[in-house]
Each structure stands twice: as C-alpha cells, then as structure tokens.
Amino acid sequence: MPQLLVHHAQVLEMMAEGAPLRPVLDAVTGALEDLLPGTKCSVLLLDERSGRLHHGAAPSMPQKYIEMIDGMDTGPCAGSCGTAAYTAVPVVVPDIHRSALWDDFRPAAAIAGVRACWSTPIPGKDGQVLGTFAVYYDTPHTPTEYERHLVERFTHLAAVAIDHDRLFGSLAQSEERFRRAFDDNAAGMALLGLDGRVLRVNRALCALLRREASDLVGRYFQDLVEAEDRASLLHGVAAETDDRHRFELRFRRLHDEPIVTSTTYSGVRDAYGNIASWCVNLVDETDRKAAEEERRARAEAEIAQRHAEENSRTKSQFMTALGHEIRTPLHAVVGFGEMLRSGNLTPERSAEALERMSSAARHLVDLVDDLSDVAAIEARALRLRAEPVPVGPLLADVHGLLATAADEASVTFDAELPEGAPAVIGDERRLRQVLLNLATNAIKYNHPGGRVVLSTARADGDRLSLVVTDDGPGIPRHLQHRLFVPFDRLGAERGKNPGSGLGLHVTKGLVDGMGGELAIESGGPAPGAVARVTLPTPGDTASRPPRDRPAPRDV
C-alpha cells in the first residue's frame, strides 16, 4: 500500500506541474504494471465526435499493436475495450482465443503476445465515458479481488488526469480565443487592473492613440484621457456593482488633435463573482462627430437663412400694408381738403367733409399709436408694470367706456362682475387696453341684436382668465392661424367697419409681456367667439412675471 501511495503522489505531482496528458497516462499505466508484475496496461481515449477510441498510453505494448487498434470503433462486440466503452461496464475476457469479442482483434493480440484482457471504462465527472483502462496478461487469467481493487484505484486516477487535461485544455483554448479576439480586434482594446493601470493593449489601440505598447502598459488609463473627461470616467467606474459602463471620451494623440471615442468598460469577474479587472473597448467616433457637427451647422445656417428670408418678406409685406393703411385716410384728408378749398360745397357737405377728415385723422392717430406700441414691443422697450390689478373695477371701467358704442351697434353688452374682487398681476393701463381691444372687436363685428359678455373664470393653478364672449359670426377655422398677423383683417377690410389690423397683434404682445396667455376660440358648437386673457394672481408666485418686465420680442 505504501508503494501505491508513492505512485499516486508522483502522478498527482506531474499533473500539478502541468505535464502533458500522454506522459501522465504513461506514469499511471507504468505504476500499475509495477504493482502487478507480468501485466501490460493501456489507456484508450474516446473521441466524443467520432465515437472512436484512440491511443492514450501503452508503455509496454508493441508499436504495431498500438497502430492496429488506434481509431477502433466501439460496439457490443469490439474487443474488451470497444465493448467496455460501448456498454459503460467492465469487460473481462479470461481467454482471448475463446472469446467472440476478440474475433476481429486476434491478429493484434497475437502481435502483442497477450491471452487475457480486462478493460474498465473511465468515467468523467458528468458520468460520460472518457476512455478505457485495460490490463493484459500473457496467459489466460481471471482477475483477483486485489487486482480489481488496484484497477479501480488507477482507473479513477486516470479519470482525474483526463478531466484535468480537458479542463486546462479548455482554459488554454479560451485563453487563445481571447488572445486572438483581443490582439486582432479592429477596435482599440486595453486590459486594466482595478487600480486603473494598463496591463495589456492590442495593436489597434496603439495605432488609434499613435503610441507604442511600451508607452501605454503600466500607465494609469485615465491619464490618457483629456482632463475635462476624467471626472466622469472615474465617477462612472467607481461603483463595482456595475460591470458595464459606456462613455464618450476624448484622448489626445501625440502631436495631433484629440480624438472622440465611444469607450466601453466591461468588468472581468473572478471565480467568486468579484470584478478582478476591466476590459476597455475604444471606437473612434471623431469623423462621425465631425460629420454630425457639420450637418448641424449646415442645418442651423439653412434655418437662419430661411428666417432671414422670412423676416425680409414679412418686413416687405409689413411696409406694403402700412403704406396702404396710411395712404387710405390721407387720400380722404387730401380729397376732402381740395373739396373744401373749392368753396362750392353746401354747409351740409362742408360739415360732412370736415367730419370725414376728422375721422381719417383719428384713424391715423390710432394707427400711429398702434405702430408705436408694435415698435416698442419688438424693441423690448415697452415697460410693463407687474402689480395686483383688481378685476371687478377693471371690468366695470371697460364696460362703462364701451356701453355707448354697444348701444349704437344695437348689441347687448353685459359685465358679470366677480364677487370678492379678485386680482391679477399685470399693468393696469395696458390690461385695460387689452380688454378694450377685445371687447371693441366683439361689438364691432357682431350683428344687431347680438350680445357681448365680460366675465372671469378660474384657470389651472392660481391663475385667472378674463373672458370676452360674443355670439357674432365667429372666425372660420381656416383663418384662425392668421389672427395675430399684422395688418391681416381676415377679409374684414371688405366690410363697413374700419380698422388697421394691428389691434390683435398689439394685444397679444401686451398679454405676453405681462406673463399671460391670450387664446381666441371659435368654430365650436356655440356661435361667436371666446377670447381668454389668462394671467397669474398674487398667489401664483411660480408664474408671476418680474416687476417692470419688458415685453417679449416674439409677438
């Protein structure tokens, strides 16, 4: 038994030192031959793909015999070894000359000079047969209990050797695959220690950064990154619970501009599930980023050009409309002035001419006032107060100012004054101008017998809407997008009511400047139109405009 332990120790020591499988199996079979004098031993290895047995070890068998049985098939009648591998149970043949199992292999047995053979399948960890362990005798022989015990021990030792070799063979193949995938990868790759030092780089990374491998290995990887990007990199990989991170990092190449990369950190975990190192993958995104920036700059330039062209067209349209609006009342003043100068008018016609000239002059004054407001709003020079304005007195004031005009138009004009006198934040004078413009339009474009109502309504949050409702003809849906276009009266210029087409444009600018919203709804189930001016209240601090804020330009 001590000699058995010595042989076991020698075989295990060879495996620990990484000896190839063939010498280890020679040592196993040679050890059993020492313990069982007069025997010859062999190991055949099973090829899983072909199902054939191949030579593994047979230190005492002649080469010719080895060549004859190498690559033999397994089956129910394939000698001792082929049958044992096929049935997965030991096969004992006391006399080869009398066994049908050896019918095809007796010539080989004669060459080896053997008469008896005992073959045991070698099981792997998963229970699958790895090969066979055979013991040969020169004379007919049946194994004793002691011999069976020894063969079991050495069969197990052979199994350990084969499993060990397959494990390390798989590791070697895995290492080779990783090396090939790493070294030959078209993307730049680096292997980092947990401290961030570079352990290994591939050729693509050296080419990407234009540095030698010796200049990269041993350095801290973050030192290769542009200083502005290091903080995000170090923060991102600090949590070892995440084993994958993606960054957009810039790297400076020697004597060249920095490159932009898509960089991926992948954690390499050990047998205990802990991150042992980092595999870093770099893809050069410099050209793509440059192309994106160029496309963005080109798009912005095209947008700017379109805006400039649109502004130029708008300016031309504005000046054309302005000329028309000014020319019409001026023609009236000039024409009626020439009529008065002729002295041929009756007193009644003279009074009518003076009234027409006065109306034209008032129209010009209103137009100049509106133009001044438009210019101030566009230049952000119109100062608007931001202070609490009681709604009740404001609506009552607007109602009183327009009551006569409503009566003359045969329109019922009501004001539903709210209880409790709520207030909104705005400029009182300009807010009165806004409501006068909206209510005047509602009266002017209504029909005889129509109705206009001033009221209030709660809006989202602590906001309040001042509402002007009428039951007039309303505004067609296809024209509503032009409501706030300067000088566009939506076809009303063909009617009897005068106007410049600036009122709603100025009104929206004033409401926007006070931090409010102007919405005009029409075309619903109810007739007429509803104009809502929604403003913050003293309790709505989130949306309250700053005190004395200038009106915005985009009106």
The CATH number of whichever domain residue 349 belongs to comes to 1.10.287.130
Q: Same structural domain for residues 81 and 222?
A: no
| Averaged pLDDT for residues 484-505 | 55
CATH of the domain at 466: 3.30.565.10
Instruction: Kindly report, residue by residue over 97-140, the tens digit of the pLDDT.
Output: 999 999 999 999 999 999 999 999 999 888 889 999 999 999 99
Q: Same structural domain for residues 252 and 112?
A: no
User: Where is the domain boundary, 378, 407, 433?
Assistant: 378
Q: Same structural domain for residues 421 and 481?
A: yes
User: Where is the domain boundary, 378, 411, 430?
Assistant: 378
Q: Please give the single-letter amino acid code of residue 37.
A: P
Q: Classify residue 62: in a domain, yes or no.
A: yes
Q: Same structural domain for residues 87 and 133?
A: yes
Give me the DSSP letters along 142-164: ---HHHHHHHHHHHHHHHHHHHH
Please give the residue that has the higher pLDDT: either 34 or 382: 34
553 pLDDT higher than 50: no
Tokens of 183: 């070294």
Q: Same structural domain for residues 91 and 136?
A: yes
User: Where is the domain boundary, 284, 302, 333?
Assistant: 284
pLDDT > 70 fraction of the chain, expressed in percent and rounded: 81
Tell me how many domains the chain contains.
4
Q: Same structural domain for residues 29 and 144?
A: yes
Q: Classify residue 518: in a domain, yes or no.
A: yes
How far apart are alpha carbons 521 and 301 in whole angstroms? 36
Q: Same structural domain for residues 347 and 404?
A: no
How far apart are alpha carbons 186 and 89 in whole angstroms? 52
Give me the DSSP letters along 344-368: ---HHHHHHHHHHHHHHHHHHHHHH
386 pLDDT higher than 70: yes
Q: Classify residue 555: in a domain, yes or no.
A: no
Q: Same structural domain for residues 255 and 397?
A: no
| Averaged pLDDT for residues 449-455 | 91
How many Cα neighbours within 13 Å face the side chain of 532? Answer: 13
Q: Classify residue 514: in a domain, yes or no.
A: yes
Q: Classify residue 13: in a domain, yes or no.
A: yes
Q: Same structural domain for residues 151 and 199?
A: no
Tokens of 31: 């050890």
pTM (2 decimals)? Answer: 0.42
Q: Same structural domain for residues 15 and 154?
A: yes
What is the 8-class DSSP label of residue 411?
Answer: -
Q: Same structural domain for residues 478 and 360?
A: no
Domain that holds residue 406: 383-550
CATH of the domain at 30: 3.30.450.40
Instruction: Kindly report, residue by residue over 227-256, the tens digit of the pLDDT.
Output: 888 887 877 676 555 678 888 888 877 777
Q: Same structural domain for residues 258 and 312?
A: no
